[in-house]
Amino acid sequence: DTEVTQTPKHLVMGMTNKKSLKCEQHMGHRAMYWYKQKAKKPPELMFVYSYEKLSINESVPSRFSPECPNSSLLNLHLHALQPEDSALYLCASSQDNGRNGEAFFGQGTRLTVV
């Protein structure tokens, strides 16, 4: 099983709404990531969780709030977003260091802020 599952696949939200994106993996990976991707651009790292602890926050605005309830789940809570936050939000997971360090992405949540 090399699957990272993200829900929902599509989300339209208003600027005053609160919503959450969810990500799940059962590969035993201990690093999980949130990326943001705009059209025709590479993914940009937002957050990294390592062993369920936030290890990297790439200066992301506080209207994005990550949460890692356990080693298989990663959430991204959204509040008071702006239209420019519309993008594809990608979750990824990977092993730690070592030879078998593949990193897999979920199918993404396409977010539109109106």
Partner 1 sequence: GQNIDQPTEMTATEGAIVQINCTYQTSGFNGLFWYQQHAGEAPTFLSYNVLDGLEEKGRFSSFLSRSKGYSYLLLKELQMKDSASYLCAVRDRAGNMLTFGGGTRLMVKP
> What gap in Å lies between CA 34 and CA 108, rounded to an integer?
10
Distance from the first to the final alpha carbon of the chain: 36
Give me the least distance between CB of 80 and partner 1, in Å please.
Answer: 26
Closest CA to 94 of 46, 45, 42, 50: 50
Give me the least distance between CB of 43 and partner 1, in Å please.
Answer: 5
Which of residues 67 and 105 has its CB atom nearest to partner 1 in the complex?
105
Which of residues 10 and 16 has its CB atom nearest to partner 1 in the complex?
10
The contacts of residue 64 (CB under 8 Å, 6+ apart) are 34, 46, 47, 76, 77, 78, 85
Which of residues 90 and 113 has its CB atom nearest to partner 1 in the complex?
90
Give me the least distance between CB of 113 and partner 1, in Å please.
Answer: 18
Residues that bind partner 1 (CB under 8 A): 2, 31, 33, 41-45, 48, 50, 55-56, 88, 90, 92, 94, 96-99, 101-108
